[in-house]
Amino acid sequence: MSRRSVPRGFPSAARQRGVVLLVSMILLLLATVLGLSSMRNIQLQERMSANSYDRTLAYQSTEAALRAAEAALVASTDPASLAQRCDGSTPCDVVPAEDASGWRDVPEDFRLNSEMLPGNAQYFIQLMSEGAPFGLPEQSGSALSGQYGAGGTPVALSFRITARSHAPETGSGRAQVHLQTIYRIER
């Protein structure tokens, strides 16, 4: 029996099978890593879109809280009584403390997305100044101030309203939005 001679330029069949196995294992490993990376990327995008949705809901709720505070000031016969006074003797924080006693829950008719949010939106009103309305000179110090009716010059009240989407203790891990506005009432 004679052995068949294999030309020298070709590797043996056993060697070829080993290389094919190694190449296929490397390709399988690369496909697995690529698949895991894609899954992680999809999970990250899903979390980002959920957080964006949560923040949008909180933002809408906070805007409604600003409107509720403005409506409360307009409806009140004594709007200054709804606010914490900020004058030289009582300085006010730019953002009221989270546990300050002046935070008020938004009434039912101003609540948005309440079933999807962790708590009720709240607002805090600060009275920043009292003075003459826009466009009127100060008349209260003039000699003829009595001509303008009881009390002289009409009074304008400037309020700073701070709103938040929910109380901090009700929404651990959820988006919380704070907004502020300056609101002026002429009386």
Cα–Cα distance for residue pair 143/133, rounded to 1 Å: 20
**pTM, full prediction:** 0.68
Model confidence at 175, pLDDT cuts 50, 70, 90, reads: confident
3-class DSSP assignment, residue 84: strand
What lies within 8 Å, CB to CB, of 112 at 6+ separation is 57, 60, 61, 64, 121
Break the chain down into helix, strand, coil percent, rounded to 5.
40, 15, 40
pLDDT score recorded for residue 20: 83
Cα–Cα distance for residue pair 117/12, rounded to 1 Å: 70
3-class DSSP assignment, residue 71: helix
Identity of the residue numbered 183: Y
The answer to whether 79 touches 159, Cβ cutoff 8 Å, is yes
The DSSP symbol for 153 reads S
Domains in the chain: boundaries: 31-135+153-186
pLDDT tens digits, residue range 88-117? 666 778 888 888 888 999 998 888 777 777
pLDDT score recorded for residue 71: 93
pLDDT score recorded for residue 39: 95
What's the whole-number average pLDDT of the chain?
Answer: 81
pLDDT tens digits, residue range 49-95? 988 988 888 899 999 999 999 999 999 888 888 888 887 666 778 88
pLDDT score recorded for residue 7: 59
Cα–Cα distance for residue pair 75/181, rounded to 1 Å: 18
What lies within 8 Å, CB to CB, of 84 at 6+ separation is 90, 92, 96, 100, 102, 124, 125, 126, 127
pLDDT at 142 over 80: no
3-class DSSP assignment, residue 94: coil
pLDDT tens digits, residue range 123-136? 999 998 887 766 55
Pairing of strands 84-85, 122-131: parallel
pLDDT at 14 over 80: no
Q: Name residue, tokens 């962790």.
A: 118
**Which phi and psi (to 5°) does residue 131 adopt?**
-175, -165
Q: How far is CA 25 from the centre of its chain?
A: 49
